[in-house]
Chains A and B, each alone.
Chain A
């Protein structure tokens, strides 16, 4: 089992749709969580950190469920410019450094 698993995708949605990405992690020592966006042939860019209380940034909402060990990202009112790969990232608190990237879920938003 992978330490961080994401929906395999791709997701194909029309403009204006609401789309949800799920991510599960296996290590209970996981400490901090992030969502990154990666455009084709570009570097990943931090989209948002994920806090225990959940957080929202405009059309984007991130949720964390520690008991079930999953993280979600909700995008409302999808735009064509949201088309990208979304990466789930988990940092572990093991006394040393350990950051694990999910393989990513590709999103295509169509007119």
Chain B
């Protein structure tokens, strides 16, 4: 069954450490996204990628980095430069043209289960 997976579900980091969050999808979606959600707030876009080997900064990219070497994978690294990294991180994917699997339409984003990052 197709879907999006994120790992780990919970992650604890010491200050000053870099950590990498995994995101994998087998929906054959071209576009992938990383969001951050803080308690009681909406989603904020960190980075997105519409095609392999290309990605763009979102609204809050400072302190984060990504790569898109494969269509299925879009890992996010939270660097020590991110001043307040404790949050719920959500990865999503979507098609960018035509109609996708399960009848999905352009820009309908499907989310992974998320990773809760806590800085100790």
Whether a CB of chain A sits under 8 angstroms from the CB of B90 is yes
Expressed in whole angstroms, the Cα–Cα distance for A44 and B94 within the complex equals 14
Q: 1/0 per residue B72-91: CB within 8 Å of A?
A: 00000000000000001010
Expressed in whole angstroms, the Cα–Cα distance for A89 and B92 within the complex equals 14
Whether a CB of chain A sits under 8 angstroms from the CB of B11 is no
Residues of B with C-beta under 8 A to A97 = 31, 48, 50, 56
Expressed in whole angstroms, the Cα–Cα distance for A87 and B41 within the complex equals 11
Expressed in whole angstroms, the Cα–Cα distance for A87 and B88 within the complex equals 16
Which bracket fits the contact residues of B?
A: 20 to 34
Residues of B with C-beta under 8 A to A34 = 108
Indicate if the CB atoms of B90 and A44 lie closer than 8 Å.
yes
Whether a CB of chain A sits under 8 angstroms from the CB of B113 is yes
Whether A42 contacts B31 in the complex (CB less than 8 A), given A87-B42, A101-B43, comes out as no
Indicate if the CB atoms of A49 and B48 lie closer than 8 Å.
no
Find residues 63-115 in chain B having any chain A CB closer than 8 Å to their own CB. Answer: 88, 90, 105-114
Expressed in whole angstroms, the Cα–Cα distance for A44 and B108 within the complex equals 12
Partner of B105, one of A32, A42, A44: A32
Question: Which of B31, B105, B107, B111 has the largest count of A CB atoms less than 10 A from its CB?
Answer: B107
Residues of B with C-beta under 8 A to A102 = 42
Indicate if the CB atoms of A43 and B112 lie closer than 8 Å.
yes
Residues of A with C-beta under 8 A to B48 = 97
Indicate if the CB atoms of B42 and A99 lie closer than 8 Å.
no
Whether a CB of chain A sits under 8 angstroms from the CB of B61 is no
Whether a CB of chain A sits under 8 angstroms from the CB of B52 is no
User: Could you list some 19 contacts between A and B, CB below 8 A?
Assistant: A32-B105, A32-B106, A34-B108, A43-B111, A44-B43, A44-B111, A45-B111, A46-B108, A49-B108, A87-B42, A87-B43, A96-B56, A97-B50, A99-B33, A99-B45, A99-B109, A102-B42, A103-B42, A104-B42
Which residues of B are in contact with A by a Cβ distance under 8 Å? 31, 33, 35, 41-43, 45, 48, 50, 56, 88, 90, 105-114
